[in-house]
């Protein structure tokens, strides 16, 4: 089981997704303990995801953000769930210990 799941709906914003994932992993004290769960609309043809461990992608019909987040959360396996927007960028070293 991972320690923290980052739950994030996204649509057509591949650069934001890469920035979120890379900043989270680059600044985490224990990057192997971070899980990412993205909800992506089934008609989204632009989203791309970096090749990283602990990445789950849930695809489905276009929904309200709150519902998409909750569906993604249902796939999370960590003790701590963090809801995030795809425009989030981590800036604090060892943020996962705080």
Q: Tell me what pLDDT residue 2 has.
A: 81
Report the distance separating Cα 2 and Cα 87, nearest Å: 23
The answer to whether residue 16 scores a pLDDT higher than 90 is yes
> In the chain, what is the straight-line distance between the N-terminal and C-terminal CA atoms, in Å?
19
Between CA 4 and CA 23 the distance in angstroms is: 15
Strand partners, 9: 39
Please identify which residue in the block is written with the tokens 């979120």.
Answer: 20
Structural contact between residues 78 and 2, judged by C-beta atoms closer than 8 angstroms: yes
Q: What is the pTM of this model?
A: 0.94
Please write the tens of the pLDDT for every residue from 37-95: 999 999 998 998 989 989 999 999 999 999 999 999 999 999 999 999 999 999 999 99
């Amino acid at each position: 089981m991972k320690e923290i799941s980052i739950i994030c709906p996204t649509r057509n914003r591949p650069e934001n997704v890469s920035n979120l994932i890379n900043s989270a992993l680059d600044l985490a004290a224990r990057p192997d303990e971070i899980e990412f769960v993205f909800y992506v609309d089934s008609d989204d043809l632009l989203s791309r995801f970096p090749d990283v461990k602990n990445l789950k992608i849930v695809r489905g019909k276009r929904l309200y953000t709150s519902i998409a987040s909750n569906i993604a959360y249902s796939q999370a396996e960590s003790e701590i769930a963090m809801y995030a927007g795809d425009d989030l960028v981590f800036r604090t070293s060892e943020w996962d210990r705080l």
